[in-house]
Structure 1
C-alpha cells in the first residue's frame, strides 16, 4: 500500500450529464407520442373500437421502432453521457415493447375486421394479405420481429454465439423498412394528411440517418483521418498483452480515459472480428494503448500481431469517464484486468483518490508496478487486495475500513461481473448515493 498526503481538492461537478441526456430522450419520446396521437385523432376514428385500438397500437409500435434505432445509433453525445451498456439495455426492453404493441395491432385489427363476417380473425388476416396493399409486407415484418424477439430472450441469447445472434438481429432493419412502407401506403393517419405523412418521413429520416451516421459515416471518417496502425506489442505477463496504436492527428481524436474502442486488426485471419477493449492509459495525443487478457483463440492471437498492422477502430465509446464526477474525491475499484480503464482514469483524475485493486494472487495484478508509480505521483492511496473470493474482502466493513469517507466520494468500479455485483451490493449497504456510483458493462447491440 502506498499512502501520501492528500493534495488540495477540486470543487464538485454541478452538472449531471447523464440526467440531462436521459431527460432529453424521454422528452423526445413523449413529444413524438403526443404528435402521433394528435395526427391519429385528426384522421378520424373508425366505427369499430377494436380497429381504432389496433391502428393506434401499430403507430406506437412503429414509433418505438424509430426510438430503438436512435438508442443503438452510437451517437457520441448520447454515448458519452449514458453509456453503450445502458443504451443497449433500453434498446432491448424497447424491443419487447415493440413486439407486444405490434402483436396487439395484429390481434385487434384481425378481430375488428372480422366482426360481422363469418370468416373469423385468421381468415380476415389472410383476406387482407391477399387484397390490401402492404398487409403482406406488414405480416412479414412482424414474423421477423417475432424471430428476433425469441432469439433475444435470455434463455436463447445465452446459448447463441454473438455472431449468430448479431446476424439474425440485422434482419430487424428489413422489418423496419417493410413496416414503414406498409404504414405510409395504407395507414389512414397518413393517407388523409400530408402533414402527418411529412412528419412520419421526417421521423424515420432522423432515426435511420442517426444509424448511418453513428455506425457507418463517423467510424469510416475517423479511420480515414487517423490511419491507425500498431506501433508495438508488449507482453505484460504470461496471459496479458498491451498493444500500442499510433496514427495521424490523434490529438484531435475525442477519446477520454475510461472509454473503449471496438478494435479490428486487419490481418487475414482477424479483420472480421471486432473486440471491445478499454484504453489502459489516458490518451496523450500520440498513441492509444489497450491491454487485453487471453480469454480464447481470438485474444491469444493478439500477442502475435506485428508492428505496422493496420487497425480499424470504432469509437471512442462509453460513459465511464471523469465527465460524470459529482465529488472532488474518488475511489477507484478494479478487479483483474478491469484495472485497465481504472489505471487510465487515475492518470486523468484530479483530487485525492483511493485505488483498490482486487486480485486472486499477487501475480494476477496486471500493470501493478505502473499503477503504484502513478499513485505515488498523483498522491493517491493504493491498496492491493489478494485472496480467494470467499470470504468477501470487499464487503461493506472492509470497504469502510479501507475508505472511511467512502460515502463522500465518487466510486468508479470495473471488474468481472460477479465481483462488480458484490461490490455494488456493498455500496448499497453503505448508503453510497447512486449518483456517485459509476460503472459500465461491455454490452453490444446489433
Structure 2
C-alpha cells in the first residue's frame, strides 16, 4: 500500500510541477488550440517518463506492488499516453493551420520541414501508435509473445525521439533554465531506473550465478519441467510464487524471453520452472540439452508469503497456474486448503507431487474437474469446500477468465481485499 500510494503521489506532484512551469512560461500562442496542444504534449511526456518507471522492474516496487499490477498500470498509462500525444499532434497542427490559413496536411509538412525536432516527433508518434495497436487485446491474443515483445522494444526509440523534440522546441523549457533542469532530472531518474532494472541488475546477477540447465523432465504430453543450477543460488533473492523471464542461450532461442513461474520453492541449490507447450518457442524446451546456459531476468512478482495477513491460507489454481501455487504450498505454514481446477484428471499437472506435499504438511487438497459451466467455484460451492474462507489469505493463479470469476466469488463471500492475492496466468504462468 505504501509503494502504491507513493507512486500515485509522485505522479500527482509532477503533474503539479509541470503545470506550474507551463503557466509560468506564459501561453504566448495565437489561439487556444496551440495552448491545449502544448499542455497535452507536456502531460504526454510526463506520462512517458512515468511509464519508464513502471517498466523498469525495480525490485523494491516489484516486491511490494507485483509485476501483475505494474503491468496493468503500464497498459492503462500506455493508452492514456497514446491519446495524450494524439491530442498534442491534432491540437498543434490544427492550431497552427488556423493561424496560417493552411490546410492541416500542408501545415504538418511545413512544421516538419521548418521546425527542429518536429519530424522526430512525427516518427515517435507513429512508433507509439504501432505499439498501441499491437498491444490492443484483439491483436495481442493473435501475436506470439516474442513478436509482440520485439515490436514493443521500438518504444525506447520513440522515447528518445520525443524527448529530444520536446527539449529542443518546448516553450516551457526554452523559457526557463529551472524548468529545463527539472525536466532533465526527471528523465534522468526514469532512464536510470530502466538501465538499472532492465540491464545492469540482470547482467550482474547472471554473471554472478552462471545458470545452466541440469535436467529436462516431461511431466505430460504438453508440460515440461526444467531444472536449473548455478553458483551462490542461496544469495539469489527468489521466493516461492515468483517468476523469471527466461532466455535459453541456444542458437535459435537466445533472443527469446518467456515468463515462467518457479514450480518449486527455491532451496539455494537449484531452481525449477514448469511450462505448458503452447507454441514453437515453448515446444523447443523439450529438446534443451543439459548444460545449456540460461539468462534469467528476475525474480519478479508479489505473489508471495510476504503479504500474508492471516495464519491460515486458501490456494486456488487453474491449469498450469498450479506452478507458483505448488511452490507456495511448499513454503506456507499454518493450515492450508488447496483447490486445483482443471478440465480433466489428465490436465492435473504435478498432482502426485501436490498430494505428497499436502499429506506431509497436513493440507487439504481438492481436485475440481469438469467443464467451465456450471461454475464449480461459484460462491455456494467455494463456501461448502472452505467454510472459513473469509478468515484466510487467498492466493489465486490461473487463466484470466477463471481468475476474474474467482475474485468476484471472493468478494461475494466477504473476503477482505487485503487477504486476496492474485496472479494472472497470462503473465506469469
Give the alignment's TM-score, normalised by structure 2.
Answer: 0.93
* Distance of 2:351 and 2:141 partners within structure 1: 34
* Distance of 1:46 and 1:249 partners within structure 2: 61
Q: Does 1:388 align with 2:388?
A: no
* Distance of 2:224 and 2:85 partners within structure 1: 48
SS at match of 2:424: coil
Distance 1:358-1:147 versus aligned 2 partners, 3 A rule: closer
Q: How many residues align?
A: 427
* Distance of 1:442 and 1:416 partners within structure 2: 5
SS at match of 1:332: strand
Q: Does 1:45 align with 2:15?
A: no
Q: Does 1:280 align with 2:280?
A: no
Q: Does 1:27 align with 2:25?
A: no
Q: Does 1:357 align with 2:332?
A: no
Distance 1:403-1:151 versus aligned 2 partners, 3 A rule: same
Correspondence for 2:167 among 177, 184, 187: 184
Mean Cα displacement is larger for which, 432-441 or 361-370? 361-370
Quote the RMSD (CA, aligned, Å): 2.0
Q: For structure 1, which runs of at least 5 residues remain unmatched after alignment? A: 1-18
Offset of 1:271 from its aligned partner?
A: 2.2
SS at match of 1:237: coil
SS at match of 2:110: helix
* Distance of 2:370 and 2:83 partners within structure 1: 47
| Alpha-carbon contact 1:336-1:416 (below 8 Å) kept | yes
Distance 1:386-1:105 versus aligned 2 partners, 3 A rule: closer
Residue of structure 1 equivalent to 2:182: 199
Distance 1:65-1:406 versus aligned 2 partners, 3 A rule: same
* Distance of 1:106 and 1:241 partners within structure 2: 49
Offset of 1:154 from its aligned partner?
A: 2.5
Offset of 1:422 from its aligned partner?
A: 2.8
Show CA shifts across 1:412-445 (max 9, x none). Answer: 1112333323322322322222322211125569
* Distance of 2:257 and 2:133 partners within structure 1: 25
Mean Cα displacement is larger for which, 165-174 or 392-401? 165-174
Distance 1:189-1:343 versus aligned 2 partners, 3 A rule: same
Question: Aligned runs of 1:80-229 on 2, under 5 Å?
Answer: 80-229=63-212
Residue of structure 2 equivalent to 1:260: 243
| Alpha-carbon contact 1:88-1:443 (below 8 Å) kept | no
Offset of 1:290 from its aligned partner?
A: 1.3
Distance 1:239-1:136 versus aligned 2 partners, 3 A rule: closer
Offset of 1:120 from its aligned partner?
A: 4.0
* Distance of 2:52 and 2:426 partners within structure 1: 16
Offset of 1:29 from its aligned partner?
A: 0.6
Show CA shifts across 1:346-388 (max 9, x none). Answer: 1111221111122333343222222222222222222222333
* Distance of 1:347 and 1:156 partners within structure 2: 38
Q: For structure 2, which runs of at least 5 residues remain unmatched after alignment? A: none
| Alpha-carbon contact 1:276-1:442 (below 8 Å) kept | no
Q: Does 1:310 align with 2:310?
A: no
| Alpha-carbon contact 2:400-2:425 (below 8 Å) kept | no
* Distance of 2:279 and 2:41 partners within structure 1: 44
Distance 1:128-1:328 versus aligned 2 partners, 3 A rule: same
SS at match of 1:173: helix
* Distance of 1:152 and 1:299 partners within structure 2: 21
* Distance of 2:345 and 2:147 partners within structure 1: 38
- Greater relative CO (CA pairs within 8 A, separation 6+): 1
Show CA shifts across 1:102-126 (max 9, x none). Answer: 2222222233333443324443333
Offset of 1:31 from its aligned partner?
A: 1.1
